[in-house]
Amino acid sequence: MIKSINPYTENTLKTHTVHSRTEVESILQKSSKRFLQYKNSSFEERKILMLNTAKELLKNKRLYAEMITNEMGKPITQAIAEIEKCAWVCEYYAENAEKHLSVKKIKTDAKKSYVKYEPLGVLLAIMPWNYPFWQVFRFTVPALMAGNVVVLKHASNVFGSALLIQEVFEKAGFPIHCFTTLKVGSDRVEEIIDNDIIKAVTITGSGPAGSSVAATAGKNIKKSVLELGGNNAMIVFNDASINDAIETIIQARFQNTGQSCIAGKRLLIEESIASSFIEKLSLKVSKLKSGDPIDKETFIGVMAKQNLAEKLEAQLNNSLDLGAKIEVGGKRSKTFFEPTIVSNVTPEMEIFKEETFGPLLAVTTFKNEEEAIKLSNKSKFGLGVMLFSKDIKKMEKMVPQFEEGAVFINELVKSDPRLPFGGVKTSGYGRELSSDGIKEFVNVKTVYINM
């Protein structure tokens, strides 16, 4: 039995009975049979189903958003935006999947040669709680449009969201077992990947979880895509538009109560503007509205679990012991953690080295461009970096020097269906979204024809 608990009220939302091994095997068998039928559907048929999915999401977005808010504490307006983004990715792939997977003709010595993109089969998705709908849709939509079917192992604290997602696809008309939720704990993941029915696996989660999944997939010679942690730097140069940069930084660090792999966690500021910039930023952050996540005015809700808030508190205290200074915030009460800015942060401190998964921003200063790049790259993660400057040509010349999956200039790092999303180093490998993402889970088949 697994309990779903509201992190704000501490009330139990529902107690879920986990699937037995027999039930899991039955689901996988049914998914495999469904794939043999579904893979023969046309792009036009899949397009209609996916557009229906988008309509269902938008029609009942408040209902789905409330499940997100109740299960993991995301402020309701941000939860609604998450549902709307899910509808967007449905619409994008409905309109573009056929083009992305069109046959590629290649001139060779053959009379005819080309490349086809064919579905692999039943795919396993292991997903986190912080974006309980978006993370699932980001992977599942292109997978379904490519002709695969999906089984989901969601985070245990958002099983309600997982079951609603299955309901969304079924309401939209997708045949049963095109998408199925497995109610199992993390201790069951390895045996599911081992199952011959599973052809490939993707995980969005922590480094240790990703490493374990990759090892199991590798042992079985199965494709894997890892979307793991991040410790994104936000670099503010002295010619930046200060007010615009501050607004963007607040969104980048504090939306979803800071619980995002792509959040800007390290703020690197050029020394000459650091003092005034920190003062203005701290004033703005101190005015962010905290409170009940179901209140539409709330911007900072609660963290998803108390142990996560306690971990963030420990990371902060360890860094304070080494000389870091709190500019604003810093206090915790159960699952609530004040939006916090910490200055005097050095690379030896935990809040610089490790991912801080909550509303805490670590501030470090730099003297010049070379030092800024060095500080940004001084991380085991490589998901993304944000640069703030009016000199766009100079910023573009710097792009190759960053060890990141993405570089955003005068904007926060974010996922967009039209662009590939993913990282390097311990942030993982492989890509989601765009034409690159849909091709991660297909058989790239060469066809060569001679007389």
Annotated catalytic residues are 227, 261
Cα separations in angstroms, 126 against 68, 247, 284: 17, 33, 37
Q: Which residues are CB-neighbours of 400 under 8 A, at least 6 positions away?
A: none
Alpha carbon distance 145, 94 (integer Å): 7
Integer Cα distance of 320 and 91 in angstroms? 47
The CA-based angle 75-80-289, given to 5 degrees, is 25
d(CA 254, CA 358) in angstroms, rounded, equals 8
- Rounded Cα gap, residues 75 and 53, in angstroms: 24
Residue 406 backbone phi and psi in degrees, to 5: -150, 145
Provide the 10 A C-beta neighbour count for residue 347: 12
H-helix or E-strand containing 7? Answer: none
**Strands, E assignment, 299-415:** 325-328, 332-333, 336-337, 340-343, 360-366, 381-382, 385-388, 407-409
The residues, ordered by sequence, that sit 6+ positions from 176 with a Cβ below 8 Å of its Cβ are: 30, 34, 170
Cα distances from 432 to residues 53, 120, 143, 161, 398, in angstroms, run 19, 16, 10, 21, 25
- Residue indicated by tokens 């997977």: 101
Dihedral pair phi/psi, residue 368, rounded to 5°: -150, 175
Strand stretches in 239-393, DSSP E = 264-270, 325-328, 332-333, 336-337, 340-343, 360-366, 381-382, 385-388
Q: What angle do CA 96, 429, 308 make, to 5 degrees?
A: 105
Helix or strand run (H / E) with residue 45:
helix 43-59
Tokens 């069951």 -> residue = 188
HSE-CB of 274 using CA atoms within 13 angstroms: 19
